[in-house]
């Protein structure tokens, strides 16, 4: 008897700041759209701007709001303002703080795990981390670099545990060229796998953070779908 097919890899395009990029992500087939509500980020937008951009989304595409050590009342207000959104906590938030910041309505959230670069990645206890944040909808895997966010860096995916009882979201340094390798390495190690890209689909050149390339978005989605197809071939 053959094993049941693996669920498809879901895709989030993050760090969007323009209407055209939201539309390009929708057209390409993204499942989620990310808005950075961390004022120090070059991709930062306000909750009001995120709400305006998210209003362009059709049904069944989820807006995700990224926060870094933000006060709980502001997180709750932002989630309420961007209808249907979920939170992504990317700072030093404890499990208790994540719960407090989702408010009495219990907005859903993801928690970012910052995985050290190089061989040090083997020392990160992802199984314990996922257990500590068991109320998170998913654990997002990003590279641990100075500041917050992966900085376009990829950690060593092969060093992660062989089995994690959580939904995982692979992020950090993903591009159309390498996302397939990440999926093939991690897809059978967790409940489900999603991928999250930002800098890997941006327009080339300095000063273009937050400005996406529609062609790269299409290439990224196509690479994900090709990796999924390789599991059933």
pLDDT of residue 105: 72
Q: What distance, in Å, lies between the first and last C-alpha atoms of the chain?
A: 16
Alpha carbons 148 and 58: distance in angstroms, whole number: 30
pLDDT of residue 31: 98
Does residue 71 sit within a domain?
Answer: yes
Does residue 77 sit within a domain?
Answer: yes
- Domain count of the fold of the chain: 1
pLDDT of residue 28: 98
Does residue 205 sit within a domain?
Answer: yes
Does residue 4 sit within a domain?
Answer: no
pLDDT of residue 153: 86
Alpha carbons 196 and 175: distance in angstroms, whole number: 10
Q: Domain holding 183: CATH number?
A: 3.20.20.70
User: Does the active-site annotation cover 190?
Assistant: no
In the set 21, 142, 196, 228, the catalytic residue is 142
User: Does the active-site annotation cover 14?
Assistant: yes
Does residue 1 sit within a domain?
Answer: no
pLDDT of residue 30: 98
* DSSP classification of residue 212: B
Alpha carbons 182 and 179: distance in angstroms, whole number: 5
Tens-binned pLDDT, residue by residue, of the chain (233 aa): 556 677 899 999 999 999 999 999 999 999 999 999 999 999 999 999 999 999 999 999 999 999 999 999 999 999 999 999 999 999 999 999 999 998 777 789 999 999 999 999 999 999 999 999 999 999 999 998 877 766 778 999 999 999 999 999 999 999 999 999 999 999 999 999 999 999 999 999 888 999 999 999 999 999 999 999 998 76
Here the tokens at position 139 are: 């654990």
Does residue 52 sit within a domain?
Answer: yes
Does residue 207 sit within a domain?
Answer: yes
Locate tokens 């950090």: which residue?
172
Range of the domain at 171: 10-232
Does residue 160 sit within a domain?
Answer: yes
Nearest CA-CA partner of 71 in 38, 41, 104, 40: 38
Alpha carbons 68 and 88: distance in angstroms, whole number: 9
């Amino acid at each position: 008897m053959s094993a049941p097919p693996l669920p498809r890899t879901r895709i989030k395009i993050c760090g969007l700041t323009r209407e055209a990029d939201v539309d390009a992500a929708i057209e390409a087939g993204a499942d989620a759209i990310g808005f950075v509500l961390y004022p120090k980020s070059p991709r930062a937008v306000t909750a009001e701007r995120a709400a305006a951009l998210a209003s362009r989304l059709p049904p069944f595409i989820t807006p995700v709001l990224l926060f870094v050590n933000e006060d709980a009342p502001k997180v709750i207000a932002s989630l309420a303002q961007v209808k249907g959104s979920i939170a992504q906590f990317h700072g030093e938030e404890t499990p208790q703080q994540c719960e407090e910041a989702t408010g009495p309505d219990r907005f859903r959230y993801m928690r970012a795990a910052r995985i050290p670069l190089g061989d040090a990645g083997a020392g990160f206890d992802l199984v314990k981390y996922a257990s500590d944040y068991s109320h998170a909808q998913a654990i997002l895997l990003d590279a641990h670099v100075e500041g917050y966010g992966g900085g376009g860096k990829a950690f060593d995916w092969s060093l992660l545990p062989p089995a994690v009882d959580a939904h995982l979201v692979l992020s950090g340094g993903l591009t159309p060229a390498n996302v397939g390798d990440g999926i093939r390495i991690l897809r059978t190690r967790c409940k489900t796998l999603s991928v999250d890209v930002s800098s890997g689909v941006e327009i080339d050149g300095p000063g273009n953070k937050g400005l996406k390339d529609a062609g790269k978005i299409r290439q990224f989605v196509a690479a994900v779908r090709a990796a999924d197809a390789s599991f059933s071939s």
